[in-house]
Structure 1
Amino acid sequence: MATPSASPDTSATASAPKKYNLRNPLPLSASQEQEVKQLYHKRVRARCAPEIKAFAECAVNRTVTATWVCRQQRLAMNSCMIEHANNREEEDRAREEWFATFEERRRAKEQELVRVEKRREEVITMMRQDEERRRQQAQGR
């Protein structure tokens, strides 16, 4: 009976980062889908920025009365948001943007992990130095 052994080719590809195909993307996890939706909504808000700004300016220093006093601005803002939010092409563009910036986000996460690990090591060193200083003070008394 032959024993299974890992070939060098499979181990090398397992550690290499995945390349995403923008034309045929893989199904995304729930957290990845949430990131795509955030990009999508950000793009929609950017397209409707003038309408949102007009409503916000009208609603300043108003509470309940903003509903009917700023009705025209609110309806303009809502219609713009609905128009762009129901656009499948906009969602596809957000998904493409997410895939295009995947490597950049991965690198940023890795740098953050390195920074956190470096800071953790600094804190451990400081705690050890403090412990040593206290031990020396206790022996000196």
Structure 2
Amino acid sequence: MAAMAPPPTAVDDEERLPMPSRNPLPLSAAQEAQVRELYHSRVRAHCAEEIRLFAECALGRTFTAPFKCRARNREMNTCMVAHATPAEQDAAREEWFATRLKRQKEREAREERRKEQERFHREWWGLPIEDREGQKGRDIIKKAERVGGFPRRDEGQPSKDRHR
């Protein structure tokens, strides 16, 4: 097999930050999970053809898939083991660090969108200006709107229709 260059990613043309160092500070569990997911997607991208061929073979089979598709499964696993190297893991980590600026901008955009939706919600329900912000506004939104039923003085009493 000829050595293939890694597939180009959509990140190549975006703004990137340099890797802080070859051995950066330890990441949190969630950040490590993101790096691991990036690593696995890179390995799957290298072996996309083998995965596709195995999936075609296994399509429509249940119990017989391990027997009928053994050769395709071995090809797929061999490819994945060949590309699942520490160098690929380092490349995934570098890509994760390089795209942290993009992720920060996405987080800020999501937060801005959330705030805008909250403002719209408060205006839509006609909350007074002073009640639209802060804890008081959140408490008013959480209260269930009373629709129909008996007035408050009759709550907890049996229905008047029952006694007829």
Short-chain TM bin: 0.7 to 0.9
Larger radius of gyration: 2
Which structure is higher in helix share?
A: 1
Partner of 1:23: 22
TM-score, normalised relative to structure 2: 0.64
TM-score, with normalisation over the residues of structure 1?
Answer: 0.74
**1:128 is paired with a residue of what secondary structure?**
coil
Once the two structures are TM-superposed, the CA of residue 80 in structure 1 deviates from its matched residue by 1.1
Structure 2 partner of 1:51: 50
Check the 8 A contact 1:20/1:99 in 2, yes or no.
yes
Within a 5 Å distance, the mapping from 1:7-18 to structure 2 comes to: none
Match of 1:88 in 2: 86
Q: Gaps (5+ residues) in structure 1?
A: 1-18, 130-141
75-84 or 43-52, larger mean C-alpha shift: 75-84
Q: Which deviates the most, 61-70 or 92-101?
A: 61-70
Counterpart of 1:120 in structure 2 is 118
> Could you tell me how far 1:26 is from its partner in structure 2?
1.6
* Match runs of 1:64-79 below 5 Å: 64-79=63-78
Q: What do you get for the CA RMSD once the two structures are aligned?
A: 1.9
Q: How many residues align?
A: 112
Give 2:140's aligned residue.
none
**1:20·1:26 contact (CA, 8 Å) conserved in 2?**
no
Is 1:40 equivalent to 2:29 in the alignment?
Answer: no
Alignment match, 1:4: none
Structure 1 counterpart of 2:106, which letter? A
Deviation string, structure 1 residues 94-126 (Cα, Å, up to 9, x no partner): 000000000100110011000011011101111
Q: SS where residue 96 of structure 1 aligns?
A: helix
Detail structure 1 runs of 4+ shifted over 6 Å in the superposition.
none
Distance 2:83 2:88 in 1: 7
Displacement of 1:20: 5.8
